[in-house]
Amino acid sequence: MSFEESEYGEVKEKPYSRSKMKLKHIRMIKGEKLRSIVVARIRVARLKMWAVRVLIMMLVWAIALQLKALGSPKVPKHSRLSYPLLPERIYHNNGYLMVSSNGGLNQMRTGICDMVTVARFLNVTLIVPELDNTSFWNDHSQFADIFDVEYFIASLRDQVHILKELPPQQKKKASESPFSMPPISWSNMTYYYNVILPRIQTHEVVHFQKTDARLANNGLPIEVQKLRCRVNYQALRFAPPIQELAEKIVRILRGKGPFLVLHLRYEMDMIAFSGCNEGCNDQETEELTKMRYAYPWWKEKVIDSVKKRQAGLCPLTPEETALTLQALGIDPTIQVYIAAGDIYGGERRLATLRAAYPNLVKKETLLPAKDLDPYRNHSNQMAALDYYVAAESDIFVPTNGGNMAKVVEGHRRFLEFKKTILLDRKALVDLIDLYRAGAISWEEFSSEVKEAHSDRMGNPTKRLVIPGKPKEEDYFYTNPEECLPQSADHDEP
């Protein structure tokens, strides 16, 4: 089947042209003597037409069958680009997997990649993941609000069947006797084959309540790892309106020169949750503490901010960030795009950073208000915009080790090791304190900071493996070595 892009950006099937050329040709032949030949030719032509009609019907029938199996509309409707579709993978379907992805945008993103992979290797049909609408961020966006669902389904059809919803019969069954469970975290494929597959075979439909960190980082077959990457870096595109707006932001930035994306995770929730009060006044500290106690699922309540910071476990403050970028010798004229929500303390806390980097921007300052209005109440959609800009930037600097930082870091390695400065926060706070106390000069400070980061630029490295301690390892999606072209030989002499 071939697809091409129409004027309105819809991907449409090429029409089949019915040839009338033969009849036209026949009409041109004149003369009594030729009548019998003409009649014979007309018969042949009719026969050919019938043959063509039969062929067309068979084709249509074959296409319909394929689409029925795909269970989705004929063609990807709202996708802007044409794309070749690989032939659908035909396999014996072992059942249906429904999943509810939990967490913020990037946790859900990697969870989706894992679930597609699990469904593929268990030979089941995946239902388009339901997104978390109960999390802290209180965003009710569903899959199609954030990702290009048609493309997701179509581009993975050579691997796994994905349906938007259960077929009616299974839906009825699932609503009568639902089987829900969270799969065990950090499992390998053996678990999915030995424990999950039999459950799917018994119940026909299994629902996973969680998808975060359900697959191990390491020890998985290469085909499994590669499919995780393919989903993450190819199949998961943002929904066209988000994608277009994100591209617009990048266009505006590029038009003015190089840009650095600073994932300055200095937002109230993060500061309250982490208990890091560095640079906050007493009133703010009190407000943050109140917030921390207000959320029952934030387990850690009593936090020694000073100790935590010295251990390198606090997100850098805007002031610390400014010093760090300057010490690293980042050009003061570069555009610094802040990929974050509201910075706690607002402009007052951003003053130092703005003085050092006057070209400080964010999506709210680059775009007319009306462009962002549809997204403002959807934190995951706002985060999607920032994700795209961060992946595209010339330099990416995350100030904490959260999920966005990790997933974007991996994405940039995949994009041929684009520069990501992985801050060593423990070393930095030590050096910053020494510099602020006057114990070291600016030159000493700067050269120490550079030295500490010479090897932390997102260059090829081995993913840290710690058997039995998956949380302490490098996350697969932070360094998906198996999918990076240079990975095979970067350690060899």
Question: Which positions touch ligand NAG (CB under 6 A)?
Answer: 91, 94, 122-123, 130, 133-134, 140, 142, 188, 190-191, 197, 219, 373, 376-377
Tell how many helices (H) and how many strands (E) occur in the chain.
21, 12
Q: How far is the CB of 123 from ligand NAG (least distance, A)?
A: 4
Give the 3-state secondary structure of residue 180: strand
* Nearer CB in complex with ligand NAG: 196/336: 196
Residue partners of 302: CB distance under 8 A and separation at least 6:
none
Compute the distance between CA of residue 274 and CA of residue 308 in angstroms, rounded to an integer.
9
Backbone conformation region of residue 204, classed left if phi is above 0, alpha if psi is from -120 to 50, else beta: left
Q: Which is nearer to ligand NAG, 82 or 188 (CB)?
A: 188
Can you read off the two tokens belonging to residue 72?
Answer: 């989705």
Contacts of 409 (CB under 8 A, 6+ apart): 396, 398, 420, 422, 458, 478, 479
Q: How far is the CB of 169 from ligand NAG (least distance, A)?
A: 21
Pick between residue 158 and residue 286 the one whose CB is nearest to ligand NAG: 158
Q: Which is nearer to ligand NAG, 153 or 189 (CB)?
A: 189
Select 146 or 314, whichever has its Cβ closest to ligand NAG.
Answer: 146
| 95: alpha, beta or left? (left if phi > 0; alpha if psi -120 to 50) | left
In whole angstroms, the minimum distance from the beta carbon of 197 to ligand NAG comes to 6
Residue closer to ligand NAG (CB basis): 133 or 281? 133
Least distance between ligand NAG and beta carbon 350 (Å): 24
| Between 293 and 295, CB nearer to ligand NAG | 295
* Alpha-carbon gap, residue 412 to 459, rounded angstroms: 10
Sign of CA dihedral 59, 79, 139, 288: positive
Min CB(135)–ligand NAG separation in Å: 10
Nearest to 344 by CA among 315, 384, 303: 315
Q: In angstroms, give the least distance from the CB of 200 to ligand NAG.
A: 10
Q: Whole-number minimum distance, CB 337 to ligand NAG, in Å?
A: 23
Q: Which is nearer to ligand NAG, 123 or 459 (CB)?
A: 123
Residue 285's closest CA among 272, 304, 298, 296? Answer: 272
Please check whether residue 127 is in contact with residue 99, taking contact to mean a CB–CB distance below 8 angstroms: yes
From the CB of 224, what's the least distance to ligand NAG, in Å?
Answer: 11
Shortest separation between residue 87's beta carbon and ligand NAG, angstroms: 13
Q: Which residues on neighbouring strands pair with residue 396, listed in sequence order?
A: 261, 420
Pairing of strands 162-163, 125-127: parallel
**% helix, strand, coil for the chain, step of 5:** 50, 10, 40
What is the spatial distance between Cα 47 and Cα 425, in angstroms, rounded to a whole number? 79
Reduced to 3 states (helix: H, G, I; strand: E, B; else coil), residue 162 is: strand
| Closer residue to ligand NAG, CB minimum distance, 171 or 354 | 171
Provide the 3-class DSSP secondary structure of residue 236: coil
Rank residues 239 and 323 by Cβ distance to ligand NAG and give the closer one.
239
What is d(CA 5, CA 62) in angstroms, rounded to the nearest whole number?
A: 22
Amino acid letter for position 39: V
CB of 121 to ligand NAG, least distance (A): 7
